[in-house]
Amino acid sequence: MRKERFFEDQYYHIFNRGTDKRKIFLDDFDYRRFLLSMRLMNDEKDGLMIRWRDYKKTYSSSTVEAFLRSDLRKRNSLVEIVCFSLLPNHYHFILKQLARNGIEKFMQRIGIGYTMYFNKKYDRSGVLFQGKCKSSLIKATHHLLYLSVYVNCNAEVHGIAKAENYRWSSFSNSINRSKDNICNGKVIFDNFKESEDYKIYAKENVEAMKQKKEDEKLVLE
């Protein structure tokens, strides 16, 4: 992550992709492993992933939810994850920083941990991601709402799948107004009376985003 001062209680768009635009997720288990990192590495005290591995050795059929319930130590999150999307060769987050240097620590842990997992699984070495994460401060509510659609519906923007059918993003969490173990989208929900209102807002903006991408392609050609 580039040396930038991230401020507590501010929202940021964070994104990165595979080096040389290579795929960083090759099967469903890779996506699940990244999601596990998002849950277990979002803590001021490091080491939860190691404790999870030890726990699994004893309780092989248990779930991460059961493990987290059994862990009595108070957790202090580094960031609040508002929404996310994981695509074959890149990812997007909207994060709110909770602890000092929280975004930097969170993204470093995920990047290093996932790269080690990926390299071991696929018998490779070296960097996996294209440099340090990119980031932008989200300064206004309308910008936050617009970017939430871009992140939640990124698979649809890129023509991979309809957002509501895509498993590796928080879109379903957003339209169902649920607070799961990964995301808290309340800052988005509070701007819409009904889930359907956000869904309509998302649909309208996705169409505009797709058209913008097509227009950019024509300019480049």
pLDDT for 217 equals 62
Is the pLDDT reported for residue 137 higher than 80?
yes
Query: Which pLDDT value is given to residue 41?
Result: 94
Secondary structure (3-state) at 12: strand
pTM summary value:
0.90
* 190 domain residue, yes or no: yes
Give a yes or no: residue 65 inside a domain.
no
Q: By mean pLDDT, which of 58-67, 122-131, 155-164, 189-198 is the weakest?
A: 58-67
DSSP summary character for residue 170: S
CA dihedral 188, 193, 196, 200 (to 10 degrees): -70
Q: Look at residue 47 in the predicted model and tell me its pLDDT.
A: 86
Q: What is the percent of the chain where pLDDT is above 90? A: 70
In a domain, 134, yes or no: yes
Query: 135 lies in a domain?
Result: yes
Q: Which residues, in sequence order, are CB contacts of 96 under 8 Å at separation 6+?
A: 9, 10, 11, 12, 79, 80, 82, 187
- Residue 73: per-residue pLDDT: 75
Domain containing residue 107: 11-42+77-220
Residue 70 belongs to some domain of the structure: no
Beta strands 79-87; 90-97: pairing state: antiparallel
Q: Does residue 4 register a pLDDT over 90?
A: no
Q: Which pLDDT score, from 0 to 100, does residue 64 have? A: 86
Per residue in 48-72, pLDDT tens? 888 888 888 888 888 888 888 887 6
Q: For residue 207, what is the domain's CATH number?
A: 3.30.70.1290
Q: Which helix (H) or strand (E) holds 138?
A: strand 134-138
Q: What is the structure's pLDDT at 211?
A: 83
With a CB cutoff of 8 Å and minimum separation 6, the contacts of 98 are: 8, 9, 76, 77, 78, 79, 80
* Domain annotation covers residue 57: no
Alpha carbon distances (Å) from 32 to 21, 59, 99, 190:
21, 19, 26, 29
Q: Does the pLDDT at position 178 exceed 70?
A: no
The mean pLDDT of 22-49, rounded to a whole number, is 94
Per-residue model confidence (pLDDT) at position 191: 95
Does a structural domain hold residue 69?
Answer: no
Count of domains forming the chain: 1
Indicate if the pLDDT at residue 1 is higher than 60: no
What amino acid is encoded at 104 in this protein? E
Measure the CA dihedral 122/25/97/145, to 10°. 170
Residue 165 has a pLDDT of: 93
* Domain presence at residue 150: yes
